[in-house]
Amino acid sequence: MVVLGRLGGPFGIKGWIKVESYTDPPATLLNYPVWQLATRDGGWESVTVVAGRPHGGAKGLVVELRGLTNPEDARQFGARDVALPRSAMPEPAPGEFYWEDLVDCEVVTLEGVRLGVVSHFHDFPANPVMAVRADGKEHWVPLVPRHLAKVDLARRHITVDWVAEF
């Protein structure tokens, strides 16, 4: 599964729910009529998107999911990841990557200094950031082209233009 967003709180009185989309552009998430929602026990369950639209900021959406008819129903679905099977997603364009593909890749600087492996990402307003962990330390490397010197998914290796001490 590739996580593409996160459900938030209820929206309105008819069971709609807020969504933070991780796609670019954010409304792309609405192109998929069936989503997988993370369950509390670590599994996934399918939900059908009846309607949706951008709302409340750059990454915000509101959606109507089949079976949710009031705010109480929607509240039970809050704070859950929204995902799709990788097979349902298009291949990324050259030079683009799904964040999920970068997790567990080894990261080294242009000078060959090992920073660690990608553990997760933070999506900040200015740009996303890779969290790279090793030996109890965590480096935050901006996920922007000028810092990504080379990404070799076959070797699970990323070279970054970044200062190891930062």
What's the rounded Cα separation, in Å, for the pair 70 and 95? 43
Tokens encoding 136 = 């109890």
pLDDT of residue 140: 95
Q: What is the pLDDT along the chain (166 residues), one digit of tens a residue?
A: 888 999 999 999 999 999 999 888 899 999 999 999 999 899 999 999 999 999 977 789 999 999 999 999 999 988 999 999 988 988 888 888 888 899 999 999 999 999 999 999 988 888 889 999 998 899 999 999 999 999 999 999 999 999 988 7
d(CA 122, CA 65): 27
CATH code matching the domain that covers 99-160, chosen among 3.90.960.10, 2.60.40.1840, 3.40.50.150, 2.30.30.240: 2.30.30.240
Of 38, 11, 6, the closest CA to residue 22 belongs to 6
Give every CB contact of residue 82 below 8 A, 6+ residues apart in sequence.
Answer: 3, 4, 5, 6, 7, 19, 29, 35, 36, 37
Q: What's the predicted TM-score (pTM) here?
A: 0.75
Q: Which CATH architecture has domain 2-88?
A: Beta Barrel (2.40)
Domain spans, the chain: 2-88, 99-160
Amino acid 124: pLDDT: 83
Amino acid (one-letter) located at 73? D
Q: Where would I find the H helices in the chain?
A: 71-75, 99-102
Q: Measured between alpha carbons, how far is 6 from 151 in angstroms, rounded to an integer?
A: 27
State the DSSP code for 30: G
Nearest 5°: the CA angle 160, 116, 2 is 80
Q: What pLDDT does 49 receive?
A: 98
| CA distance linking residue 7 with residue 74, whole number of Å | 9
